[in-house]
Chains A and B, each alone.
Chain A
Amino acid sequence: NAGVTQTPKFRILKIGQSMTLQCAQDMNHNYMYWYRQDPGMGLKLIYYSVGAGITDKGEVPNGYNVSRSTTEDFPLRLELAAPSQTSVYFCASRSIRPGQPGELFFGEGSRLTVL
């Protein structure tokens, strides 16, 4: 049972470089999310998707882009990396079923450092 898989787990970028964080889930969940976690802080929502082809901005979308071409995949694109994007990134998914809490299932996180 893979659940939510994120790659890479660690990455160092130089200022101005671009990269894509990959996220895939095998639970057939419609809803997927990208959060970032800064030291000593909670998780802040970057982008989310309610289904293939549908994405929307969260609290901190600037500097990021997403796409959702399939139910399984929800990549996060960083364009022109900046030191402020140094963070741990979590991808999560959830399903909505009657009587169920609808908790988020998280990937293991991707630690990104921008130097």
Chain B
Amino acid sequence: AQKITQTQPGMFVQEKEAVTLDCTYDTSDQSYGLFWYKQPSSGEMIFLIYQGSYDEQNATEGRYSLNFQKARKSANLVISASQLGDSAMYFCAMREGDQAGTALIFGKGTTLSVSS
């Protein structure tokens, strides 16, 4: 079974609208971390936001927020007031457990297209 599932291959939104990118995860660990990365067409990987499994509040970073629903094992990224520069591939990733050095497991990504 996939550890990280992103079911939306592509999403389309107009400028200034909000958009939610879905991410569900699968782990039996009590301690884990969830990350979102942005990959523009230039190819670099940009870290956006992080949510720890014990964090009670949803993480926020500027226009990005993470809608963390632990019981549903979902960690959706919400982008408010979309901008043309938000057009990119978005990856959800998970770190399982607390062991130092644990790699991140990535989903297949969602391509977001923002139009004017």
When the two chains form their complex, are residues B44 and A101 in contact, meaning their CB atoms are under 8 A apart?
A: no
From known contacts A42-B108, A43-B106, infer whether A30 and B101 are also in contact, taking CB-CB under 8 Å.
yes
Contact B101 A48 (CB under 8 A): yes
CB distance A45 to B44 under 8 Å? no
Shortest distance between the CB of A3 and any CB in chain B (Å)? 10
- CB of A42 within 8 A of CB of B91, answer yes
What's the nearest-Cβ distance from chain B to residue A70, in Å? 17
Q: Tell me whether A90 and B45 are in contact (CB under 8 A).
A: yes
Q: Is the CB of A101 within 8 A of B50?
A: yes
A63 within 8 A of B: no
A43 to B104, CA, bound (A): 9
CB <8 Å contact, B95 and A102:
yes
- For B107, list chain A residues within 8 Å (CB): 42
Residues on the B chain within 8 Å of A58, using CB: 103
Flag whether A33 is at the interface (Cβ < 8 A): yes
- Does B47 have its Cβ within 8 Å of any Cβ on chain A? yes
Contact, CB under 8 Å: A102 / B103: no
Alpha-carbon separation in the docked complex, A44 to B108 (Å): 10
Q: Do B103 and A45 have beta carbons less than 8 Å apart?
A: yes
Interface size class of B (residues with CB under 8 A): 20 to 34
Q: Which of B20-75 contact A (CB under 8 A)?
A: 33, 35, 43-45, 47, 50, 52
B interface footprint on A6-31 (CB within 8 Å = 1, 0 otherwise):
00000000000000000000000011
Contacts of A41 in B (CB 8 A): 108-109
| B47 partner, pick from A40, A90, A104, A108, beta carbons under 8 A | A104
Return A110 CB to nearest CB of chain B, in Å.
10
| B114 interface residue per 8 A CB criterion | no
Pairwise interchain contact B103-A33, C-beta atoms closer than 8 A:
yes
Chain B residues with CB below 8 A from A103, complex form = 35, 47, 50
List 15 other contacts, CB 8 Å, given A101-B33, A101-B50: A30-B100, A40-B9, A42-B91, A42-B106, A42-B109, A43-B93, A50-B100, A88-B43, A90-B45, A96-B100, A101-B35, A102-B95, A106-B45, A108-B43, A109-B44
